Amino acid sequence: MEIIVTASILVASVVVSLLITRRKKATFRDFETLRVVLDYHCQQAYRSIYKSRIMVYSVNATKLVGKELDEIKKEYCDLTLKLLGPKLTRDLREVYGDSLLFNILLYFEEKYDEDEIYSATVNKMKEEADHGS
């Protein structure tokens, strides 16, 4: 009887292991699709945060720093995860692991550094200062 129980546990363990391996392979096979989905949701979240929290600073040629920027980054990450929903977040965590939030923040920082309105405003202010001198 003890041998049957041990064999059953061993078989169940192997089956679970195979299912986990199969799921991981499927997740990595779908990596490109998941990456595009993550990019789309990061973009949507950034647009929303930019319009509501950042654009007013860009128009005034001001860069956010410190606590205020950290607060906006947190809000951005929260919004991105909310837009993804629990299932996609779970799938993305399987692919990215603990670095999922890091990848989301990288997207934010890249977009924030490429702020065209800020750059245009700064350039305009420089031109006006040069013509005024």
Q: What does 18-73 look like in DSSP terms, one character per residue?
A: HHHHHHHHHHHHTHHHHHHHHHHHHHHHHHHHIIIIIHHHHHTT----HHHHHHHH
pTM of the model: 0.73
Give domain status of residue 133, yes or no.
no
Buried-exposed string 64-100: b where 16+ CB fall within 10 A, e elsewhere: beeeebeebbeebbebbbebbeeeebebbeebbeeeb
Which structural domain, as residue segments, surrounds residue 98? 30-128
Count of structural domains within the chain: 1
Give domain status of residue 6, yes or no.
no
Per-residue pLDDT of the chain (133 residues; tens, 9 = 90+): 566 656 566 555 665 565 556 666 655 677 888 889 999 999 999 999 999 998 888 888 888 889 999 999 999 999 999 999 999 999 899 888 899 999 999 999 999 988 888 888 878 888 877 876 5
Give domain status of residue 23, yes or no.
no
